[in-house]
Structure 1
Amino acid sequence: MARRLRFNGTGSGGTGCPSVHEDLDSREVIVHGPPLTDPKDVAQLQHLSEGEVAVVVPRDLLVDWTPKGDGTRQARIIGLDEFEDLFRTFKHTAWRLEMRQRYASDETTDTYRQFLETGAAQWDPDDPYCELIRSQTAQGKRVERVRIVDQPPTTGQLYLLDNAKRNSALGEDIRNLWRADAERLYQLPAEDFWLFDSRLVALLRFDDDDQLVDVELITEPAEVVRYSVIRDAAWHHAVPYKDFAAGLAE
């Protein structure tokens, strides 16, 4: 069975080589880079076994991107009230990546039932979430999302595309990206998260039934940088939701 590898980061000005990956299950670290080929250099290496290849990487690559400690960072789980407070206390930006095909909590709402029946929902522009986000964007703060969409889109993804009309009216900037493009252009992780002020990550953890179970708060600088890189890649390639919806209608 193939390993579950996570891209941690790269050196060489971001050209992709050398790079560091991490095995999410074994916690092993995989480094790739230009091979050491000069026979005089190779002859100086100790314990280089048959089949092994030596690669050359900058010291900064290992300092910046290899896991720190013993690889068993204690997860900090926060309650939903504390998670909600993050939307009141962020200073500049709140950015979301939505990777899932469905969210079970959506399917219990009246708006979801309306969408199934009519293809559109009657959104309440004054519910507590709307009031909170509107108050934040009115201060010049940015709230942004990238939503990954399958081809063809799932019902839940079409529902959220309809939802984007309401949320954009609150001042959110919502964009979409085909999953195939996300996988081809940049290997985005199968994780949903919020990134606040490029300073902390709220990783949303779901069960097998697509129910939100809990939220893990991540403040480790190297991890925050990794999620920031994911944000930049997704945002660069994503399409404003109106353009994306217009493409679906063609």
Structure 2
Amino acid sequence: MTTSSKTIGEWFSDFEREAFRLETLDDYSQSGSVEAYQAFVAGKPQPADFATSDWVTTVGNATRSGRRMYRVHILNRPLTEYLRFELSWGYRRNMTAGEEFFILDTTDRENPIPDAPDFWLFDERVISAMKYDDAGKYLGSDFLDEERLATFLAYRDTAMAQAVPFPEWWAQYGV
């Protein structure tokens, strides 16, 4: 059930303070930057348009206006080929535009929020639950009712409390 008259794309421009993302999957390879991912796997350089994607523009516009965009990725080592790509190319690229990344590494511990789905949370009030197929293809998102807000705020707070900043994690475990 939707609780927003806006699309998720509109929320990326219209949020007022912060946009938080929880990532829980090991593979989003069918959801965007497919050509860049294929280049990464083949050992080729980044495509020229990868560094200037629409997402980088969106993030840059938001952060230059004083709004925060940040995310936590829950993952296990060893990293999948896709996660190696996402973290080494994608996260490092998006950081140049001001997006913040954190890693909740569950390699040596239990996942503290195993039932949490992928989602975006805008201004601590609008929840967009992301849907993917088994191959990592984005299928859309559902805006959830406000009655679920406390649960999703708890997911965010738990993830942030146990995650480490990406640069710190990458310096220890990056490939």
User: How large is the Cα RMSD of the aligned pairs?
Assistant: 2.5
Aligned letter for 2:50?
A: D
2:40 corresponds to 1:115: yes
1:131 matched to which residue of 2? 57
Residues 178 and 125 of structure 1: CA distance in aligned 2, closer, same or farther (over 3 Å): same
2:31–2:138 Cα contact (<8 Å) kept: no
The one of 154, 160, 168 equivalent to 2:95 is 168
Alpha-carbon distance between aligned partners in 2 of 1:166 and 1:127, rounded to the nearest angstrom: 10
2:160 corresponds to 1:235: yes
Alpha-carbon distance between aligned partners in 2 of 1:193 and 1:129, rounded to the nearest angstrom: 17
Ranked by relative contact order (alpha carbons within 8 Å, sequence separation 6 or more), the top structure is 2
The one of 212, 215, 221 equivalent to 2:141 is 215
2:36–2:50 Cα contact (<8 Å) kept: no
Secondary structure of the residue aligned to 1:191 is: coil
The one of 66, 77, 94 equivalent to 2:19 is 94
Residues 194 and 218 of structure 1: CA distance in aligned 2, closer, same or farther (over 3 Å): same
Structure 2, gaps ≥5 residues long: none
The one of 193, 196, 201 equivalent to 2:122 is 196
2:28 corresponds to 1:103: yes
Q: Deviations over 1:118-156 (max 9, x none)?
A: 286356332222112101100110000111222211111
Identity of aligned residues (%): 25
Q: TM-score if structure 2 supplies the norm length?
A: 0.87
Aligned letter for 2:22?
A: L
Residues 145 and 181 of structure 1: CA distance in aligned 2, closer, same or farther (over 3 Å): farther
Q: Deviations over 1:97-136 (max 9, x none)?
A: 0000101325762211221122863563322221121011
1:199–1:219 Cα contact (<8 Å) kept: no
Aligned letter for 1:97?
A: L
Q: Deviations over 1:31-76 (max 9, x none)?
A: xxxxxxxxxxxxxxxxxxxxxxxxxxxxxxxxxxxxxxxxxxxx23
Residues 182 and 232 of structure 1: CA distance in aligned 2, closer, same or farther (over 3 Å): farther
Residues 249 and 139 of structure 1: CA distance in aligned 2, closer, same or farther (over 3 Å): closer
Q: After TM superposition, what 4+ stretches of structure 1 lie above 6 angstroms from structure 2?
A: none
2:4–2:126 Cα contact (<8 Å) kept: no
Structure (1 or 2) with the larger CA radius of gyration? 1
Q: TM-score if structure 1 supplies the norm length?
A: 0.62
Alpha-carbon distance between aligned partners in 2 of 1:92 and 1:177, rounded to the nearest angstrom: 23
Secondary structure of the residue aligned to 2:110 is: helix
Alpha-carbon distance between aligned partners in 1 of 2:32 and 2:97, rounded to the nearest angstrom: 22
How many positions carry a matched residue from both structures? 173
Secondary structure of the residue aligned to 2:130 is: strand
